[in-house]
Amino acid sequence: MVKIINDTFNINEIIDSNSTEVLLESEFTITDDMPDIERIVNIEGKTNLNNVAVTKDNITVDGRLIYNIIYLSDNENSTIHSMTGEIPFREEIGIEGISEDMEAFTDIFIDYIDADRVTERSFLVKAVLILDTDIYMKRPVTYVSDLESDGSIQAKAKNISFSDTAAVLSEEVNINDAVELSKGSDEIEKIIKADADVYMTNLDVLNDKMLVEGICKVGFLFTENNDLHTVGYVSEEFPFTHYLEFEDLNENMLKDISIEVKDMTYSTGDNFDDEKKLIEFALPFTVSATFYSNIKKNIITDCYSTDYELDLLSEKINLSSIKKITDELVPYENSFEVPAGSIRDVYSADVSPKVSEKRIAGNKYIIDGFLDVNVLYLNGDMNKMDKAFASLPFTASFPIDEEDALSKIYSDLRVHKCNAYRKGNKSVNISCEINVGLKFKDDDEITVIKDIAEREPVDRSKMPSLIFRVVQSGESLWDIAKNYNLSINYLKELNDLSEDQALEAGTKIIIARSV
């Protein structure tokens, strides 16, 4: 008789991954209090994810694209204007086999965005979004962890390791402060464009707390209250600290930290000299942290009996183990020429990374791609704001060892500390830091035994008394012993095999019937 000892562990099993392209196109009319459109100078956008819902064979992603356009008019009182709007979207993604008890996580990327003037009072926004979705199912797995028998049970065990999510924390941080214009600038007429960038500079684990330190950088493009309605740009950095508390936190845990910037609100006000040179802002952002523990288990993956036929209830599961999470910083600097006119002043630059290839070469993991750069500048030939676009190549490489090269490597790119300045009359110099998050994962498909039932005794009456078995390619001693319901030790002694000796294809194994 056999006594079964069961145990349970939880897994977060990835079921499927999907990448979907969403095309958005919508026409808008400017409000009555705004002057006619002469030329659209710039458009930028960001996305907000409202909800991701999983139903049978389907995922529904709800979100919105928020855009801001800057355009020129022939109005004598004010030539530069901006307008903000949004395009809601709802995408149905069909994935056969998924169900309501699963979870989906979606990342949204703007692959392309542009705006065309349709009439003096209307414009068309076109965009392409990429939805990258992973579907998970968190469930318990019951398995046979040990067996007690009279010695007739032969069992094969395996030590497994996998990642378990110890905690998921998400907290909102608010930066409320103000930026003041310099003494030499004129007062603010209106704000045309606002930028916000938040990034981490340091992480420290202190007892049951994790200290997150970082920088919040804000920038504002505005027109000045003078006869020429000149354009100015001001930016400033604000340091922040935030504590995430987790009772069982320790330094050995793997930590995946991210920051998501929310919508910034702002207003203009007077400084101490009663000049309209103050921009007060409120910038909320979310600090999210996932903590992983590596769990080790010894499980029985296969068994048989030398005395009885067995019925095994088993299942295959996919185990995922996160080996390492790192963040790498790559300094970047390049320059390009504007296509027309001359540069009198550079106002701002928006930079977004696009990956074209990921590869392993030698002992390095290499990412090739492009930085899409949009620069707003004062065109000296026209004495008006203009835009220049460039797609600048980059290569980021990181040393990895042989073990890391065998893992699946996931990378996430973000760009911070972007600066642009004039280099001569025609060139713009761009500098930034490319932040590359690397996650090394090992995936393993294993078979777990969930239950064992004994059937009728093994019938050896039809088995020859002596067999010379030729070992086939890939065949192990376990395979042969299980096929004939013989113990591993019995075959080793019979064939004078050592404990760890592997079988070679083509050799002969003696199999004698046991009574």
What string of pLDDT tens digits covers the 515 residues of the chain?
Answer: 678 888 898 888 888 999 999 999 999 999 999 999 999 999 999 999 999 999 999 999 999 999 999 999 987 666 899 999 999 999 999 999 999 999 999 999 999 999 999 999 999 999 999 999 999 988 888 988 888 888 788 888 888 888 888 888 999 999 999 999 998 899 999 999 999 999 999 998 888 888 999 999 999 999 999 888 889 999 999 999 999 988 877 777 889 999 999 999 999 999 999 999 999 999 999 999 999 888 888 888 899 998 899 999 998 888 888 999 999 999 999 999 998 899 999 999 999 999 999 999 989 999 999 999 999 999 999 888 999 999 999 999 999 999 899 999 999 999 999 999 999 999 999 999 999 999 999 888 888 899 998 899 988 877 888 888 899 988 888 999 998 889 888 888 888 887 667 788 888 889 887 65
8-state DSSP, 183? T
C-alpha dihedral, 63 to 135 to 160 to 475, nearest 10°: -150
Burial 495-504 (b: 16+ CB within 10 A, else e): bebeeeeebe
Same-domain pairing of 297 and 403: no
Q: Residue 50 and residue 66: Cα distance in Å, rounded? A: 13
Q: Which of 221, 257, 506 is nearest to 385 (CA)?
A: 221
Q: Is residue 320 part of a domain?
A: no
Contact 302, 156 (CB under 8 A): yes
Same-domain pairing of 107 and 195: no
CA atoms within 13 A on the CB side of 350: 18
First to last CA, the chain: 19
Same-domain pairing of 292 and 158: yes
Same-domain pairing of 207 and 280: yes
Q: Residue 189 and residue 366: Cα distance in Å, rounded? A: 47
The two three-digit tokens of residue 224, written as one number:
């000045």
Q: What is the pLDDT of residue 78?
A: 66
| Alpha carbon of residue 290 to chain centroid | 12
Same-domain pairing of 291 and 353: no
Supply the CATH number for residue 469's domain.
3.10.350.10
Q: Is residue 78 part of a domain?
A: yes
Same-domain pairing of 182 and 292: yes
Q: Residue 24 and residue 108: Cα distance in Å, rounded? A: 13
Task: Tell which phi-psi region holds residue 506, choosing left (phi > 0), alpha (psi between -120 and 50) or beta.
Answer: left
Q: Is residue 318 part of a domain?
A: no
Same-domain pairing of 420 and 486: no
**Alpha helices, H only, 361-515:** 402-405, 477-483, 488-495
Q: Is residue 482 part of a domain?
A: yes
How many domains does the chain divide into?
A: 4
Q: Residue 130 and residue 140: Cα distance in Å, rounded? A: 33
Q: Domain ends where: 118, 144, 170?
A: 144
Same-domain pairing of 235 and 285: yes
Q: Residue 320 and residue 314: Cα distance in Å, rounded? A: 19
CB neighbours of residue 199 within 10 Å? 17
What is the pTM (predicted TM-score) of this model?
0.83
Task: Tell which phi-psi region holds residue 97, choosing left (phi > 0), alpha (psi between -120 and 50) or beta.
Answer: left
Q: Is residue 286 part of a domain?
A: yes
Q: Residue 155 and residue 300: Cα distance in Å, rounded? A: 7
Contact 229, 187 (CB under 8 A): no
Burial 72-110 (b: 16+ CB within 10 A, else e): bbeeeeebbbbbeebbebebebebeebeeebebebebeb
Angle (CA) 398 402 408, round 5°: 70
Amino acid, res. 370: F
Q: Domain ends where: 447, 480, 499?
A: 447
Same-domain pairing of 274 and 417: no
Same-domain pairing of 155 and 140: no
Q: Is residue 453 part of a domain?
A: no
Same-domain pairing of 383 and 436: yes
Range of the domain at 140: 10-144
Q: Is residue 50 part of a domain?
A: yes
CA distance to 12, 178, 441, per residue, from 165 (Å): 8, 39, 14
Q: What is the pLDDT of residue 515?
A: 57
Q: What is the pLDDT of residue 425?
A: 92
SS3 content of the chain, % helix, strand, coil (to 5): 5, 75, 25
Q: What is the pLDDT of residue 208?
A: 83
8-state DSSP, 492? H
Q: Residue 141 and residue 9: Cα distance in Å, rounded? A: 5
Q: Is residue 121 part of a domain?
A: yes
Q: Domain ends where: 306, 339, 373?
A: 306
Same-domain pairing of 194 and 120: no
The two three-digit tokens of residue 120, written as one number:
């003096």
- Collapse the DSSP code of 483 into the 3-class scheme (helix H, G, I; strand E, B; otherwise coil) and give the result: helix
Q: Which residues contact 230 (CB under 8 A, 6 or more apart)?
A: 186, 223, 224
